[in-house]
Each structure stands twice: as C-alpha cells, then as structure tokens.
Amino acid sequence: MLKYEFFIIIIVSGVIGSFIALVEYRISNNQSIVLPRSHCDNCGYILKWFDLIPIISYIFLLGKCRKCKFKINSSFFLIELLTIVSTTMIYIFTLNVKYIPFLFILISLSVQDFKNKFVSLYSILLLLLSTLLISFNIKKVFIVMVIYLFIFCFNNKFNFIGMADIDVLSICSLIFNINQLIYITLLSSSTCLIYFFLIKRKTKTIPFIPFIFIGTLISICIKK
C-alpha cells in the first residue's frame, strides 16, 4: 500500500511541479496561463502529451524541442525535480501528506520571489488557507495577528526585511511551534548568507522565501 501511495505522490508532485513552472514562466513573460496550449517558443510546435511528462520528457528530448531542437528553458525541469524531491522527502520522513499542499504553494512563492523579487497576494492567501487546513487554533491565530501587526508597523518604518518574507514566516508560525520557527529562521538566514557569498556579486535585494522553503522543508522532515 505504501509503495502504491509513494508512486501516486511522485506522479502528482511532478504534474503539480510542471504546472507551477508553466504558470510562473508565463506570468514572468506576460502571457496567459490558459491559452495558447503548451508550445515551443521558437517554432510554435504544439507539445503532445508525451512531450509533457515531467522530468522524463525533458531527459528523453535532451532538453530540446522535438521539432526545431531549440533549447527548452531548464527552469521547467528544475522546478519539476524540486517539487518531486521535496514532496518525496516529506512523505518518506513523515508518512503524512497533510503538509504537501502547503509545500506546493511555498514552492510557487519561492519561484516567484527568486525570479521576480515579487510574490502574488493570491499565493500568500492560498498559503494561509493551507496552514489553516492543517491546524486551526483561534488563540494562536490571534497571537500571531498581534505580533504580525507589531512587526508590520516596525518594518514599515525601518524596512529591514521584505513584507512578503514576514507574511510567509508569520503563516509558518501557525503550524510550527516557537522552537521550530526559530530553527527555520536561523537555517533560512544561514543558507541565504551562503548563497550571498557564493554569487560573488553585490545586490540590493536577495530573494529570501526560497531559503524559508529550505528551512521549512528540513523542519517538517525532522519534526517528531
């Protein structure tokens, strides 16, 4: 039974990852996410179903269009791989699927932040909804709201962190205890610093949500 569930999770996470990659790519290029059908940006070739199999199609086609051999954007492959690997990790370590919808939305936010340094309000609201479905505690919601308003006012004056980062961390606090939240914040900050030194270039802004995702994923996997 577990093997069957594991197989289903891999397929579903791959499809969701492919959808996330498509949405973020088209939004970044000011294209409709509905029409036209998936196609090659170079020759207009309409992709068949066997061209859209997550991971497998990209590898089989060597990352190129079947018709014109134009190089396919590698972000599709990377996002699909990230979604499958992270979802699989959660299932292996927790044998629980309740965090997976939350994870999908957090991946989408991470991609948005990394590519555009901007995230959609709708994605933030979906993340909030997914946490309330995991665990709803009216007392905790009230406490988080009070703390959030305080941080919002403080940050509005001193602007020490992006508001979307505060939104995501605040939403995470609804399903994680204080020790886990501290761990997520420290791990996110550490990996962000490593990234900053690795890119070896000065930049005014660094997308922080992808590093919150890393901290959150590890926290979920080691959560007892």
Q: Residue 33 corresponds to which amino acid? A: I
Task: Tell me how far apart the alpha carbons of residues 54 and 3 are, in angstroms, rounded to a whole number.
Answer: 20
Q: Which of 165, 15, 164 is nearest to 100 (CA)?
A: 15
96 closest CA partner among 32, 219, 6: 6
CA–CA gap between residue 106 and residue 164 (Å, rounded): 12
Residue 71 C-alpha from the chain's centroid: 24
Residues of 73-88 as b/e, b for ≥16 C-beta within 10 angstroms?
Answer: eeebbebbebbbebbe
- What H or E segment, with its residue span, contains residue 77? helix 74-94
Cβ atoms of 214 and 191 closer than 8 Å = yes
- The three-class DSSP label of residue 64 is strand
Contacts 24+ apart (CB under 8 A), 89-93: 89/217, 89/221, 90/217, 90/220, 90/221, 91/5, 91/6, 91/9, 93/220, 93/221, 93/222
Predicted pLDDT at 215: 92
Q: Are 47 and 40 in contact (CB under 8 A)?
A: yes
Question: Alpha helix (H) ranges present in 161-202?
Answer: 163-172, 178-199
Per-residue pLDDT of the chain (224 residues), as tens digits, is 456 777 888 888 889 998 888 888 887 777 777 777 888 878 878 888 788 888 888 888 888 888 888 888 888 899 999 999 999 888 888 777 888 889 999 999 999 888 888 888 888 999 999 898 888 788 888 888 888 888 888 777 666 677 888 889 999 988 888 888 888 989 998 988 888 887 766 666 778 899 999 999 998 888 74
> For residue 86, how far is the Cα from the chain centroid?
10
Half-sphere exposure of 215 (CA within 13 A, CB side): 25
**What pairs with residue 39 in β-bridges?**
46
- Residue 140 CB-density burial (10 A; 0-12 exposed, 13-18 middle, 19+ buried): middle
Cα(91)–Cα(84) distance, rounded to whole angstroms? 11
pLDDT of residue 203: 64
